[in-house]
Chain A
């Protein structure tokens, strides 16, 4: 009888919800007619469910919160989309140029004799604005169009990105004849050479050799506690690293990891699996074609181009 009661007890919630089959429902109904404890269990379950349905307070936020949330989400979507390196470089240059000009103007103003105050002085901000606009337009053009001809291959000039948010460095030993300068740093032969990158290093060095294996040294920095780094380096859930290869376009690498890399420390991402740059390019193009019809922003969503073999903390190396 007791085992029967235990069996019925499991069916009671569904019996109340009327989700049992006819046969099971009939079994429960028949049993509770003759069993007082099970009858009481059904009554208790009904009351418990009544309490839950009528007295449980479902959380709700204010309309103001939802309005703020929508704005923040929109902003984050706009920011999260990765932009091309030259665009970020142009933006950084513009900011730097503007700061520099402002300081120069203020410094010069201190030595200006008051009698020289004229209409031309009032026009100075306009001159500055015109100059900045020129820089803004000319810099991306120069960056994209300056190229060099090397071994019959049209190779894009490597960009040097100055980013306050994230410092990313790809280093490759130019002195060696092969790209083994990178391989030496792989986990199996790690003892020989450890890359040293200072905190201020924004180094992008490339050789014309296809990159077989490599590493990316990343410094993680947040601008503030509220904003995430502008290149979508999501510290919490996944690590994104941006790499640009000569003539092969820009590639995003994504590594999902349970490990959380501490802010302000270097993370060495060892890349493996790029057999040739050409293969990587084909893969990149294939991925792009799959997403045909998407906006450019969506095209730039991180692509799992190749796996990251390991992540090491250089301090431990």
Chain B
């Protein structure tokens, strides 16, 4: 945690609301990325983001200064997102197979179209879409650990701390998730696309 961040957190603890904006600015992309990957929906991710930063604002005094703020924020975001998905599934308000194109999906397609080589553009685009869908098809628990480990680069211990479970559980979930991903991506692996 750098000095600026430490000062911002201290200021926020002292009741200086203006200290929240720089923290939001610094972490908004991370929180959005994580929220949208767990909820798989832009609108839900927006709600999760709001709740996350509101919680940071209200509970900053409970943050232990010796811990990393980023890990604390990860914990809040992941928990908010998981709770949101669970609530959503309970109410059956929104299905995961929504046909409404979200900003997330639009962005995904945009990224998929960014291949430089014109000969392999369609192939790479398809591959990107397939890999992204493979990750999204994982169960909530498996997807969460894969996102945190593979894409956010967190260690098993950090993930265990965030999800409030043992390292063994994290390893086990990761193992099963990877196994499923290997199966899903097998056609591309066998075809030697890469």
- Measured CB to CB, the residues of A under 8 A from B are 10, 13, 44-45, 47-62, 65-66, 69-70, 72-74, 76-77, 80, 236-237, 260, 291, 293-295, 297-298, 301
B194 touches A50 (CB 8 A): yes
The 4 residue pairs across chains A and B that have the minimum distance between CB atoms: A295-B15, A55-B131, A294-B15, A59-B36
Contact present for B175 and A10 (CB under 8 Å):
yes
Q: A13-B174, A59-B37 are in contact. Are A48 and B181 (CB under 8 A)?
A: yes
Measured between beta carbons, the chain B residues less than 8 angstroms from A51 are 127, 131, 185, 188-189, 194
- In the bound complex, do residue B178 and residue A70 qualify as a contact, i.e. CB atoms below 8 Å apart? no
Interface secondary structure of A, over-half rule: helix
Most B C-beta atoms less than 10 A away, residue of A49, A61, A69, A291: A61
Given the complex of chains A and B, what is the CA–CA distance between A69 and B58 in angstroms? 18
Give 1 or 0 for each of B15-59: 1 = CB within 8 Å of chain A CB.
111001100110011001100110000100110011101100110
CA distance A237 to B83 in the complex (A): 9
Which B residue's beta carbon lies closest to that of A53? Answer: B150
Return chain A residues, CB-CB under 8 Å to B128: 55-57
Alpha-carbon distance A73/B32, docked complex (angstroms): 14
Whether A73 contacts B188 by the Cβ 8 Å rule is: no
- Chain A contacts for B103, CB-based, 8 A: 61-62, 65
Per the bound structure, the CA–CA distance linking A10 and B172 in Å amounts to: 9
Which chain A residue has the least Cβ–Cβ distance from B105? A59
Specify which chain B residues have a CB less than 8 angstroms from the CB of A69 in the assembled complex.
28, 46, 49-50
Partner of A70, one of B28, B51, B181: B28
CA A72 – CA B51 in complex, angstroms?
12
Residues of A within 8 A of B65 (CB): none
B70 CB within 8 Å of chain A = no
Q: Are B32 and A61 within 8 A (Cβ)?
A: yes
Chain A, residue nearest B34 (CB): A59
Residues of A within 8 A of B61 (CB): 291, 294
Known: A13-B175, A72-B50. 14 other contacts (CB 8 A): A45-B178, A47-B189, A53-B150, A56-B131, A56-B151, A57-B132, A59-B33, A61-B42, A66-B29, A69-B28, A70-B21, A76-B50, A295-B17, A298-B58
